[in-house]
Amino acid sequence: MATTARLTLDPAFRIGPVDPRLFGSFVEHMGRCVYTGVFEPGHPLADADGFRTDVLELTRELGVTLVRYPGGNFVSNYRWEDGVGPVEDRPARLELAWRSLEGNSFGLNEFMAWAAKAGVEPMMALNLGTRGVAEALELVEYANYPGGTRLSELRRAHGADKPHDVRLWCLGNELDGPWQMGHKTAGEYGRLAAETARALKRFDQGLSLVACGSSNSGMPTFGAWEAEVLEATYEMVDYVSLHAYYDPSDGDVDSFLASGADMEHMIRSIAATADHVGAKLRSDKKIKLSFDEWNVWYQSRFNGESSLEWTEHPRLIEDSYDVTDAVVVGSLLITLLRNADRVGVACQAQLANVIAPIRTEPGGPAWRQTIFHPFALTARHARGEVLRVEPECATIPTAKYGEAPAIWATATHDAATGAVIASLPVIVLYLVAQRWVIEGISRSGLKG
């Protein structure tokens, strides 16, 4: 016997506008994401800059609007100066985050040129692990100041005549994690982030800054970290970051399919924490959230950084995805849209090869993984305003998250075209497995 579910939509019940920055991705110097991923000089399809045109085409098809760079864990020991200037003069370094050899043939200016060709906004991360305020200011001056200073003229001498004008900057990465180079307590990081933010805002008040939140919701300091960091940085930052990866390896399919509910709990917990700090500081400002790392990752198959041998761009966590993984990616995208009033930036990690929607072979083809498709469809069709959707449906018991709704849904309404798009990817599996039927969608007050 089929089970019936019902959705009701009304244009009066709006969550918020669809921010294009919700469809971000992530390029880190990790594994083969950069080298033989987006960048492979000598490949039959490489352009004059060494960028793989097949990957560029797939990036555009995917609908990516923003890309975070250069890390990730990589950034916390990165010297940006190593990746600019004549390639033959760039030093090779030991890359400590992923125990690889970094030749630095791809750096800041190459990334900016690639981002321009891909049609994406750059989101840069600063090293606040092993470096500090002075180095952050130098990078921002090199990247953004038009000319006439030592660093801006150095950029021009390196072939980038116009400033890159990067507007969105991460104040470090996952510095609550003991695996991070330069790991800090919340108090240590909060003070450094505040000092850096203050200096960057003095350089350009219009920069948007992201403070590091917890590395994941399982951290023992989750919530407390955000509260302490935001008390130090509240009036100087615009976002606080969230990261989450979902691992299907334990075979608990019901909990895995409910990953969106866990992501939503995380979003609402940190939004409440930020609002509490704002109330405590008597501030009218609302901090938004940057969910700048999220994806499905078979993390339990990875033996950790210490298991890696020193080598150049190794094959690292190149997970192959199935239909269930694609359903979960769809549910995570729905979650981001359901919380569009608070989540202003989101980046699926990563773009190529490393837990990625796009895979490549050196000298060979590039192709789409299953998780490519829900992202591309959502990025293409989600326009206008996100509507609140309250499904009437049964619940599914899960071991990790308790009772979860059988349908995880959202909808968008584009007033300009009249288009109403309802997103319900979790149904795909249950239509087959449990014969779910959507009896109807009531669209009160909606046209088109």
* Of 381, 399, 420, the domain-final residue: 381
Q: Are residues 184 and 161 in the same domain?
A: yes
Q: Backbone phi, then psi, for 348, in 5-degree steps?
A: -75, 130
pLDDT, one tens digit per residue, over 52-94 is 999 999 999 999 999 999 999 999 999 999 999 999 999 999 9
**3 band by pLDDT with thresholds 50, 70 and 90:** low
Tokens (6 digits) for 251: 């075979």
CATH number of the CATH domain containing 51? 3.20.20.80
* Of 366, 381, 396, the domain-final residue: 381
Q: Are residues 343 and 444 in the same domain?
A: no
Catalytic residue among 40, 102, 110, 293: 293
Residue 236 has pLDDT above 60, yes or no: yes
Q: Are residues 395 and 261 in the same domain?
A: no
Q: Are residues 361 and 330 in the same domain?
A: yes
Tokens (6 digits) for 23: 């469809």
SS3 for the chain is CCEEEEEEECCCCEEEECCHHHHEEECCCCCCCCECCCECCCCCCECCCCEEHHHHHHHHHHCCCEEEECCCHHHHHCCHHHHCCCHHHCCCEEECCCCEEECCCCCHHHHHHHHHHHCCEEEEECCCCCCCHHHHHHHHHHHHCCCCCHHHHHHHHCCCCCCCCCCEEEECCCCCCCCCCCCCCHHHHHHHHHHHHHHHHHHCCCCEEEECCCCCCCCCCCCHHHHHHHHHHCCCCCEEEEEEEECCCCCCHHHHHCHHHHHHHHHHHHHHHHHHHHHHCCCCCCCEEEEEEEEECCHHHCCCHHHCCCEECCCCCCCCCCHHHHHHHHHHHHHHHHCCCCEEEEEEECCECCCCCEEECCCCCEEECCCHHHHHHHHHHCCCEEECCCCECCEEEECCCEEEECCCCEEEEECCCCEEEEECCCHHHHHHHCCEEEEEEEECCCCC
Hey, how many other C-beta atoms are within 10 angstroms of the C-beta on 105?
A: 16
- The C-alpha atoms of residue 168 and residue 146 are separated, in whole angstroms, by 17
Catalytic residue among 102, 110, 174, 264: 174
Summarize the confidence of residues 166-191 as an average pLDDT. Answer: 98
pLDDT, one tens digit per residue, over 112-140 is 999 999 999 999 999 999 999 999 999 99
In which region does residue 292 sit, left (phi positive, over 0), alpha (psi from -120 to 50) or beta (all else)? Answer: alpha
* Of 381, 400, 419, the domain-final residue: 381
Determine contact, residues 97/76, Cβ cutoff 8 Å.
yes
Tokens (6 digits) for 362: 């050196």
User: What average pLDDT does the chain have?
Assistant: 92
pLDDT, one tens digit per residue, over 360-379 is 999 999 999 999 999 999 99
- The C-alpha atoms of residue 352 and residue 198 are separated, in whole angstroms, by 35
CATH number of the CATH domain containing 410? 2.60.40.1180
Does the reported pTM lie above 0.85?
yes
Count up the domains in the chain and report the number.
Answer: 2
Q: Are residues 368 and 436 in the same domain?
A: no
Q: Are residues 181 and 260 in the same domain?
A: yes
Name the residue type at position 397.
P
Q: Are residues 50 and 2 in the same domain?
A: no
CA distances from 9 to 14, 16, 317 (A): 10, 14, 40
**435 band by pLDDT with thresholds 50, 70 and 90:** very low
Enclosing domain of residue 49: 20-381
CA angle, 190 then 193 then 196, to 5°: 150
Q: Are residues 163 and 254 in the same domain?
A: yes
**418 band by pLDDT with thresholds 50, 70 and 90:** confident
- Nearest C-alpha neighbor of 79 from the set 158, 24, 153, 132: 132
Q: Are residues 315 and 436 in the same domain?
A: no
Tokens (6 digits) for 264: 């939503």
pLDDT, one tens digit per residue, over 92-113 is 999 999 999 999 999 999 999 9
Q: Are residues 279 and 395 in the same domain?
A: no
Tokens (6 digits) for 178: 């003991």
Residue 436 has pLDDT above 70, yes or no: no
CA distances from 281 to 185, 201, 237, 284 (A): 22, 20, 14, 9
Q: Are residues 372 and 422 in the same domain?
A: no
Residue 434 has pLDDT above 60, yes or no: no
- Residue 174 is a catalytic residue: yes
Q: Are residues 363 and 415 in the same domain?
A: no
